[in-house]
Copies of this chain bind each other. A is one copy, B any other.
Amino acid sequence: VQAQDPDFERRVRDSFAKQSVMRLLGASLEQVGPGTTAIALPYRADLAQQDGFVHAGVLSTVADSAGGYAGYTLMPAGTRVLTTEYKMHFLAPAQGERFVATATVVKSGRTLTVCEMRVVAERGATRTLVAFGTQTLVCLRPDAAP
């Protein structure tokens, strides 16, 4: 996979820095490459659902951003990215010290991009796939409406 914008990493990191909800959740952008990203989320008790596990929606939030930015790495400079839909499966309770959402682009088109996302829980030396899913993104160009 080749990014057409050589400055894609700075563009992605600038946009991530504007996602105020990532600071609220304590998430950080760990990796950015052409067509792929990783976002890390340390466990905090205030991210939990009723059983003390991280809420499925919180896992989805970091997975959605991971996918959005994986797609955005391959979009041209001057564009914006929006999620049009995603689906997530939750495979195991989100227990762990840290969660890492990774995303990769499956298909990058002029208007639409499709990504896969995975969320792994880190618990000591154990790595457990706790969530995964797929996503559709739209690339908004300065000269066009969606």
Contact = CB atoms under 8 A, between A and B. Distances in A.
A86 B83 contact: no
Contact of A58 (B47, B56, B61, B109): B61
So how many copies of this chain end up in the complex?
4
A84 B58 contact: no
A75 interface: no
Contacts of A58: 21, 57, 61
Nearest to A145: B110
Contact of A86 (B46, B49, B88): B88
**Contact-residue bracket for chain A:** 35 or more
A4 interface: no
A119 B45 CA distance: 26
A57 B51 contact: no
Contacts of A49: 18-19, 21, 65
Nearest to A131: B85
A103 interface: no
Contact of A133 (B107, B112, B134): B134
Interface in A88-107: 88-92, 106-107
